[in-house]
Amino acid sequence: PHPHELVGKDCRDGFYEAELCPDRCIHSFQNLGIQCVKKRDLEQAISQRIQTNNNPFQVPIEEQRGDYDLNAVRLCFQVTV
């Protein structure tokens, strides 16, 4: 896990959420970025992630408070039909 967040037009609390039209098979991500967290803001970012239940990889809470490589990100895609 990492403390960084997605930011952009359709982002909220580090999540990107968009509703797609049934006639569109392709979606492009526009105006989407990754907001990197500074070391001094790391603890606050992790606390917010725990509070909003932003844990798509189901990492145990104990491990979420561990060491982080601030140069790495991990993306998770979830589609509901």
Residue 75 within a domain: no
Rounded Cα distance between 66 and 19, Å, is 34
Q: pLDDT tens-digit profile of 18-34? A: 888 788 778 888 889 99
Rounded Cα distance between 70 and 62, Å, is 18
Residue 77 within a domain: no
Rounded Cα distance between 53 and 55, Å, is 6
Q: How many independent structural domains does the chain possess?
A: 1
Q: What's residue 30's pLDDT?
A: 87
Residue 40 within a domain: yes
Q: pLDDT tens-digit profile of 35-77? A: 998 989 988 888 787 777 777 777 777 776 677 788 888 888 8
Burial zone of 3 (CB within 10 Å; 0-12 exposed, 13-18 middle, 19+ buried):
buried
pTM: 0.69
Q: What's residue 17's pLDDT?
A: 86
Which residue is associated with the tokens 């798509």?
56
